[in-house]
């Protein structure tokens, strides 16, 4: 895991709607990046619903939420639409983000680890979360930030 104080690795990938998302465009905002293994699976759904349900609270605090998986745009789009996720799901099909943030060990990994990061307004890692409780993760982060 990347340690607090480390510069967050830059990335440029498409979200589930085909929009190009670049980390540098969010400088000046706090960001939560939550990695999930596979779209529309039980644990990922519970975790995603937590961020959906808390989305307004994060938004009111000026915090951007990004879900990240190795899934393609079609799979992530179906997942986002099925559960009404109001935030971008990043489609890291080339493992660019997952490798940079240590959510995979190598390009051959089929699923990202269930980990999260909070990135500060200055682009540095504020917190690395290795052990995620899918039911309470969003609420825990929202109450800390």
Interacting residues of 124 by C-beta distance below 8 A, sequence separation 6+: 4, 5, 6, 7, 8
67 domain-assigned:
yes
pLDDT for position 100: 98
Which pLDDT belongs to residue 77? 98
- 141 falls within a domain: no
14 burial level (CB within 10 Å; 0-12, 13-18, 19+): middle
In a domain, 109, yes or no: yes
Q: Does 96 reside within a domain?
A: yes
- CATH number of the domain enclosing 73: 3.40.30.10
Q: How far, in Å, CA of 59 to CA of 128, rounded?
A: 21
Q: Which residues span the domain enclosing 125? A: 12-134
Q: Which residues are catalytic?
A: 44
pLDDT at 17: 98
121 in a domain, yes or no?
A: yes
In a domain, 139, yes or no: no
Q: Which segments of the chain have a pLDDT < 70?
A: none
The per-residue pLDDT for 117 is 98
Give the count of alpha carbons within 13 A of 7, CB side only: 5
Q: Has residue 142 been placed in a domain?
A: no
Residue 131's pLDDT is 94
Identify the pLDDT of residue 49.
98
User: 119 in a domain, yes or no?
Assistant: yes
Mean model confidence pLDDT for the chain: 97
How many domains, the chain?
1
Cα–Cα distance, 142 to 145 (Å, whole number): 5
pLDDT in tens, 14-29: 999 999 999 999 999 9
Helix 42-60 / helix 73-82 crossing angle, nearest 10 deg: 70
């Amino acid at each position: 895991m990347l340690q607090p104080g480390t510069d967050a690795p830059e990335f440029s990938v498409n979200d589930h709607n085909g929009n190009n998302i670049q980390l540098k465009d969010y400088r000046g905002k706090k960001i939560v990046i939550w990695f999930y293994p596979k779209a529309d699976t039980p644990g990922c759904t519970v975790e995603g619903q937590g961020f959906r349900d808390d989305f307004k609270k994060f938004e009111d605090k000026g915090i951007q939420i990004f879900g990240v998986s190795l899934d393609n745009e079609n799979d992530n789009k179906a997942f986002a639409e099925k559960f009404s996720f109001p935030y971008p799901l990043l489609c890291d099909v080339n493992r660019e983000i997952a490798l940079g943030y240590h959510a995979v060990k190598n390009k051959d990994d089929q699923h990202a680890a269930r980990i999260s990061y909070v990135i500060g307004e200055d682009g540095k890692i504020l917190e690395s979360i290795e052990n995620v409780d899918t039911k309470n993760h969003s609420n825990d982060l929202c109450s800390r930030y």
